[in-house]
């Protein structure tokens, strides 16, 4: 749903830009707290230090970029792609999620001529803020009433992602009602936008649920939204269940942060560098509605249409497969580097928190000593 230049008039574009800038500024403050989770914030009662979470947040941004290159067919010659608002909010938190999508949308607009530069504020508002807020509010409401467990988290992620997409379509329709550049009946625009994006939402929901479920299976302590919804590890000691010390809990995780990051990067490169060639070439939901309803009558050519990476291809390469694949690999590399650098800077700027980070827990307890369970102690994962 990347809005191009010319769909909305200057006042609405400027207002959306101011709102988006304010949202990013507020998110910078909130992201510092999310990237510096205090002891006990993890699903297993672990601390997830900010410097270690910054690369994971950068990876999430790169994964969203890669997944957005894979348009999937919907119906009637229309395609859709991941927006990623609910996904990023659940994985790294809503404030960091807004920043992830802002990084992706900025790079897409500047390097790949995807989404107008004058409409950047509109795209961040619609695809970044609205999807993150809607997805995270729905997700938190569902996990609060459903039984604790991984299935509940995955199901909540599915519904949250499903509803976030038509919410974004409704937000665009509202902006168009105020500042649309063509005289089109608003009822037709709203019906067409919400209808097609409900279908696209099913694909968004499936991708989000599968991704969240995959991370939950290997490192539930790194899923921001699951910190209060996944049961902590318990140990059976003399017939009683007690909370596991952090070092023991960490040994139950089947994948280290480094391996998770490497695996996620490999998947992102595969999506953008190989599978993107097979993406649907049909117009996405907004493009289809715009063409059918005449919204695109005043569309302007993108300011970076002559960019070497415009339209997700390397212009000097004659081989289409190689051109698309190389552009995708470059995009993933730039996004993960820019995202990691930004999130690391955000975390460092927040300053040290005396109540966070490794080694801040009681030195006399098993968290510091890493002592193994004594005789008669067995590990049991409560689910």
Strand partners, 236: 241, 378
138 within some domain: yes
CA max distance for the chain: 77
- Say which CATH number the domain at 219 has: 1.10.1760.20
β-partners of residue 12 are none
Beta strand ranges found along the chain (DSSP E): 72-73, 79-80, 233-237, 240-243, 377-381
| Position 362 in a domain | no
pLDDT value at position 211? Answer: 97
Predicted TM-score (pTM) of the model is 0.84
- 8 A C-beta contact, residue 85 and residue 164: yes
Residue 371 resides in a domain: no
Q: C-alpha 299: how far from its chain's center? A: 28
Is the four-CA dihedral 10, 28, 137, 56 of positive or negative sign? positive
Q: Region 97-114: what's the mean pLDDT? A: 97
**pLDDT of 40 higher than 50:** no
Task: In whole angstroms, give the CA distance from residue 288 to residue 302.
Answer: 18
210-234 pLDDT, tens digit per residue, is: 999 999 998 888 899 987 665 555 5
Mean pLDDT of the chain: 85
Asked whether residue 360 is domain-assigned, the answer is: no
Residue 357 counted as domain residue: no
pLDDT of res. 181: 94
The whole domain housing 124 covers 10-36+43-350
Domain-embedded: residue 5: no
pLDDT-derived band at 256, boundaries 50, 70, 90 = confident
Decide if 364 is inside a domain.
Answer: no
- Residue-wise pLDDT for 333-371, tens only, equals 999 999 999 999 988 775 544 334 443 334 334 333 333
CA atoms of 100 and 58, how far apart (whole Å): 7
Exposed, middle or buried by CB within 10 Å (0-12, 13-18, 19+), for 155?
middle
User: Considering its fold, how many domains does the chain have in total?
Assistant: 1
- 383 within a domain of the structure (yes/no): no
């Amino acid at each position: 749903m990347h809005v191009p230049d010319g769909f909305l008039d200057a006042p609405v574009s400027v207002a959306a830009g101011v709102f988006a800038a304010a949202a990013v500024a507020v998110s910078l403050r909130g992201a510092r707290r999310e990237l510096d989770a205090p002891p006990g914030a993890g699903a297993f009662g672990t601390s997830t230090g900010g410097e270690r979470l910054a690369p994971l947040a950068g990876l999430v941004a790169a994964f969203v970029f890669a997944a957005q290159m894979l348009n999937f067919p919907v119906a009637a010659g229309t395609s859709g792609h991941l927006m990623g608002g609910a996904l990023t909010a659940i994985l790294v938190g809503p404030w960091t999620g807004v920043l992830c999508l802002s990084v992706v949308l900025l790079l897409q607009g500047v390097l790949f001529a995807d989404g107008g530069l004058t409409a950047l504020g509109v795209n961040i508002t619609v695809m970044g803020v609205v999807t993150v807020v809607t997805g995270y509010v729905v997700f938190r409401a569902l996990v609060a009433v459903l039984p604790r467990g991984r299935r509940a988290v995955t199901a909540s992620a599915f519904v949250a992602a499903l509803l976030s997409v038509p919410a974004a379509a409704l937000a665009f329709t509202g902006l168009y009602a105020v500042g649309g550049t063509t005289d089109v009946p608003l009822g037709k625009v709203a019906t067409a936008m919400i209808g097609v994006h409900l279908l696209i939402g099913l694909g968004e929901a499936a991708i989000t649920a599968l991704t969240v479920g995959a991370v939950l299976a290997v490192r539930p302590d790194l899923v921001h939204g699951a910190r209060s919804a996944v049961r902590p590890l318990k140990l059976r000691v003399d017939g009683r269940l007690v909370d596991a010390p952090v070092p023991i809990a960490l040994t139950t995780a089947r994948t280290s942060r480094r391996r998770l990051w490497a695996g996620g990067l490999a998947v992102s490169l595969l999506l953008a560098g190989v599978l993107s060639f097979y993406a649907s070439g049909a117009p996405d939901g907004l493009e289809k509605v715009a063409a059918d309803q005449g919204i695109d009558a005043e569309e302007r050519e993108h300011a970076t249409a002559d960019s070497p990476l415009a339209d997700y291809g390397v212009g000097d390469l004659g081989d289409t497969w190689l051109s698309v694949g190389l552009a995708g690999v470059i995009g993933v590399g730039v996004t993960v580097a820019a995202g990691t650098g930004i999130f690391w800077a955000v975390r460092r700027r927040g300053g040290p928190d005396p109540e966070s980070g490794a080694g801040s827990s009681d030195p006399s307890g098993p968290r510091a000593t890493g002592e193994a369970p004594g005789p008669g102690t067995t590990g049991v994962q409560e689910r």
